[in-house]
Structure 1
């Protein structure tokens, strides 16, 4: 083991964090995400045993930004002292239990708990592992809905790592459409679904919201999950209502407490009523139902 590692640091939007992480995996052996204190940005740390090609790495990051229509984040590459990163990784990311769901990474070597639905997702994709309050709230919502309802035609809009799509597939045995605007996130979603044994039940597609035949032809849906951000959720409220069956549920997340009423108001205008608010560390998840 060499005494020096190379660390790559960048701050990005949480919605694009998985895409940047996927791009970094071509240059670094370990990639980790952390939510910053203001909970509005995702900090990414990546480590390489060899000094990465700075020009190629920055070009890959710029490519993600260009495809997403945003400015490229600042990338910093520094030499750091080597240590047992695997042990530190395991300490920082122990398994999570949220309702009936048990979320763990490949570093977990314990026994999976009986009676729980196991979801294997690497902690490097922190915005989609349950570490983030929004994902936590969504999993709580699914756990509560599973006690009373059965869903046969679900949609995970903005699927990211596909943790919610996998949870749905394992809970109800349903085929789930998992859609994301970022092609690399879709690749991650497909990989995770295969690892978790639900590759045949999760249809991961690259789509711009509801404006895609892959999404519209599989609707209308009886459950729509959308863990995105307040502004795009509000902008898509009409399309969500159009693609949701009467009596169907929508679980919305990805916004702070201060934006929850704004998101709800946008959907109430299109015939959705509030069923429940789930609050986790200053973030909210809204469970709505179409009249």
Structure 2
């Protein structure tokens, strides 16, 4: 029998979407979670979704849609699925230059000369399958192949810490991995231990660069930031302060149509574009701070 129900709709603007999301929280039965987010297709459309452990009241949803000028809700029953097992079956290993990202179920597939990065299926954000993570790993591989040696490296918004661990695999100095989300930091720490890198990667909870350990380790000669366009733009002045002269930044989480805006924000801080690569709808930027 279905164990979960979802209800999704779309609206033409952010204010209406946020108001509808707030109104959904007062439903009976109430949703176990409500999400409000912009659809990144340039249309300005917003989506609101609710998740229910009991069948939602379709009449109440119809009234809410009408009241907030939203499209009719699409209601779906979601089968009771072992998602970890499903992801494990479908998540195949990823090769990004010298790096090989895999789950423990594929441990026998690690190439002999690869730099292995173990990310379990239950921790599937930041596995290398998404174009943003893949792009960052490839950028790191090229930078190292060109002779760059990272001595002070930070991964800001680290998620699974896959990028921090990749740097720690190829260079001996300690790497800092930080994230604003406490759960992500816990996941990162688990991955660091699983990869036998606990003495090489330090995991911190921090908003951007705002942590005494990050301040003490700066300036960095390489900084990763695989987050989203606006946080990257907001981070540009702090990035300039924490990046050493001659240092590199590898940025992603950027849609192709957003790249120019990010490049412009960093150029204004003296951090210029050196290379831009596209992976599907996503862009990875390699930037260089003038000496």
Quote how far apart the aligned CAs of 1:263 are. Answer: 0.4
Match of 1:284 in 2: 283
Q: Give CA-to-partner distance per residue, 1:108-158, whole Å, 9 cap, x none.
A: 252421110111102343330011110010000011011121011000000
Question: How many aligned positions are there?
Answer: 236
User: Matches of residues 30-179 of structure 1 in structure 2 within 5 Å?
Assistant: 58=32, 74-77=50-53, 80=79, 86=85, 88-147=86-145, 148-179=147-178
**173-182 vs 254-263, greater mean Cα deviation:** 173-182
Q: Which residue of 2 aligns with 1:208?
A: 207
Task: Find the aligned partners of 2:140 and 2:7 in 1 and give their Cα distance.
Answer: 33
CA contact (8 A) 1:225 1:252 kept: yes
Q: What CA RMSD, in Å, does the superposition of the two structures yield over aligned residues? A: 2.8
Question: Per the alignment, in what secondary structure is the counterpart of residue 131 of structure 1?
Answer: coil
Residue 13 of structure 2 aligns with which residue? none
Question: Structure 2 length as normaliser, TM-score?
Answer: 0.73
Q: CA deviation at 1:236?
A: 0.9
C-alpha change, 1:90 and 1:261, in structure 2 (3 Å) is: same
* Aligned-partner Cα distance in 2 for 1:89–1:139: 21
Q: 1:96 to 1:259 in 2, by over 3 A?
A: same
Q: Does 1:234 align with 2:233?
A: yes
Q: Does the 8 A contact of 2:4 with 2:80 survive in 1?
A: no
Dislocated runs of 4+, deviation >6 Å? 8-11, 81-85
Following superposition, the deviation at residue 175 of structure 1 comes to 0.7
**Match of residue 217 from structure 2:** 218
Unaligned runs of 5+ in 2: 9-28, 35-47, 54-76
Distance 2:211 2:141 in 1: 29
8 Å contact from structure 1 (residues 207, 214) kept in 2: no
Matched residue SS, 2:275: strand
Say which one has the larger Rg. Answer: 2
Change (3 A) 1:9 1:142: farther
Change in CA separation of 1:10 and 1:142 when aligned onto 2, cut-off 3 Å: farther
